[in-house]
Structure formats: structure tokens, C-alpha cells
Amino acid sequence: MRDFDEHSITDAVIDRFKDTPDPRLKQVIGSLVHHLHDFVRDVEPTFDEWLAALMFLTRTGQMCSDTRQEFILLSDVFGVSMLVDAINHRQPEGATETTVLGPFFVEGAPVYPNGADIMAKDVPGERVWVEAQITDAAGAPLPGAQVDVWQSDGDGFYDVQRPELTEASLRGRFFSDAAGMVKFWSITPLYYPIPYDGPVGDLLKATKRHPYRPAHLHFMTVAEGYETLVTHVFVQGDPYLDSDAVFGVKTSLIDEFPLQPPGLAPDGRRMEKPWRRLNYRFGLKGAGPQDT
């Protein structure tokens, strides 16, 4: 086959992949070629524009390292990460909604007993006492669930973004008690920018988009017989709840963090300054085929 024009070339390319043994790979490539060619026909790029696009993707790859994944960030700001999440997490009634994992989860966070303080070193911020209940979708408590929590500090940085920090801060692993509860002290999170010193930041600047994520605490919960739940709890009243740079906000994940006066906290700690409180239930979806 030869003499392709700007329309016939699409089927010719798809046909060239006809012997792909893996049916899923064949389907994905066929769809990719179809949409990519339609995109080019729609946009009609000049050679300079196409080269600029390829150089942008080149810079995105070059920005990646062991600690920076610029392609995931690109997928995040285009809403693709949340689209993939939505397709893969059609939650049943009673199960908590999911959102992006983000780049700042670290395997092997310190394991803490219930009631611990995850602030390793003094960081600015209002103290918060968190009570999280882990249940199944029907609300029955799940003891022994593994719960990772992580968040940024009062300046908007995660510990892994601070090279001077030698130990984990504002992250930890807990196990739920007999009542399915996990409790800990932390600081009330604040909004912060996603990393924007690379090509994804250039894209945001060129399109007049801000890089901010509304304040949130990350939670990842693992329990045998249930789907792993990756989610956040967002702070009610945050100015970026309706313009999250990565489209991750769901109304059901927003909570009040009500302000408490100085005095005795629930664990007996005497608080000199006002503090906040979060009480949130995480409902896990069963992992069995019947648990739709």
C-alpha cells in the first residue's frame, strides 16, 4: 500500500499493527492512532508547532528522576489521572470516594502507635487531632487496617521536598484498633502549589492557570479482603476547593476541621492554643466480585 493521503493514512497505520498478538495492546494502539490522527487533522500543526510539542515532551521526560515524575504531573493537570481514577473506582454506596495518590507518598513511613504525633520537628501550623474510623461499606468497623497518612507542612512542602530533613515528618503508618479507629496529632494542612519549576509549570503559566491544591490530608488504607483506598480529606473553606490544579476534589471528601478552644484535648493533652479536630469515617469497598 502506498500513496496515502491525509485521510487514508489512518487506516493504513492501524492495519500495519494487525498482527499484534495481544488483543488489548492491539485495541489500545488502534484507538491511539485513530485519536492521534484525528487530533492532528483537527489542529493542523505547522512543523514548528509539532517540533515544539515534541520538545515539550522531551523536556518532560528529562525532568523525571527518582524523586520527580513530571509525566504523572502532566497527566494530573490534564485531569487524566482523575479520569482513570473515576473509571477504576466506581464506588458502591457507603464506600469512600477516591482521589489522586500524588507524587509524595513514600513506602516505609515510620510506624506509630495510635495517638502519636506525626510532627517529627516543630513546624509552623495549627495543631489538629485526627480521629479516623475504618469501616466496610456498610459501616462495620475494620480492626487491624493499615493506614498511611501524609501531608505538607505549613510552608506547603512535603518532607521529601526538604533535603535538610533527615527523618520523616508529617507522615506515618498506623493500624486501626478494635473499634477500627486510628488517632493522631498533626498540623492543620494548608493549600500548596504542585511542583511548577518544570515543563508542567511552564504549561500552567502559558495558560494562566494557578498551580495550587486545596489543603488536604492524604490517607491510604489497606485491609485484607478490601480494595486499597487512596484518598484525601480536604479542609472546608479552602480558597482552592473549586479550582484544584489536579481536579481531585470531591464534595464528600471535604470536612470541617472545627476550631477548639485551648484546654484539655481528647487524649488528655493540655492545649495552650486553639486547635482543630477532624473526625472522618473511611468506608472500604470489598475486593470480591460480588462487591460492586
- The stretch among 12-20, 101-109, 122-130, 174-182 that binds ligand BEZ (CB under 6 A) is 101-109
Task: Decide if residue 189 touches ligand BEZ (CB under 6 A).
Answer: no
Considering the complex, state which of residue 77 and residue 142 has its C-beta at the smaller distance from ligand BEZ: 77
Among 75, 82, 103, 240, binds ligand BEZ (CB under 6 A): 103
Binding mask 231-250 for ligand BEZ (x = CB under 6 A): ---------------x----
- The stretch among 32-40, 99-107, 176-184, 271-279 that binds ligand BEZ (CB under 6 A) is 99-107
Task: Decide if residue 213 touches ligand BEZ (CB under 6 A).
Answer: yes
Considering the complex, state which of residue 30 and residue 103 has its C-beta at the smaller distance from ligand BEZ: 103
Give the footprint of ligand BEZ on residues 75-94 (CB under 6 A): 76
Residue 180 binding target from ligand BEZ, Fe ion, none, CB below 5 to 8 Å by type: none
Considering the complex, state which of residue 180 and residue 248 has its C-beta at the smaller distance from ligand BEZ: 248
Residue 190 binding target from Fe ion, ligand BEZ, none, CB below 5 to 8 Å by type: none
Among 74, 82, 95, 100, binds ligand BEZ (CB under 6 A): 100
Q: What is the DSSP string of the chain?
A: -----TTHHHHHHHHHTTT-SSHHHHHHHHHHHHHHHHHHHHH---HHHHHHHHHHHHHHHHH--SS--HHHHHHHHTTHHHHHHHHH--PPTTSPP-----TT--TTPPB--TT-B---S--SS-EEEEEEEEEETTS-B-TT-EEEEE---TTS--GGG-TT--S--SEEEEE--TTSEEEEEEE----EEPP-SSHHHHHHHHTT---EE--EEEEEEE-TTB--EEEEEEETT-TTTTS-TT----GGGEE---EE-SEE-TTSPEESS-EEEEEEEEEEPB-STT--
Catalog residues that contact ligand BEZ under the rule CB under 6 A. Answer: 73, 76, 100, 102-104, 194, 213, 246
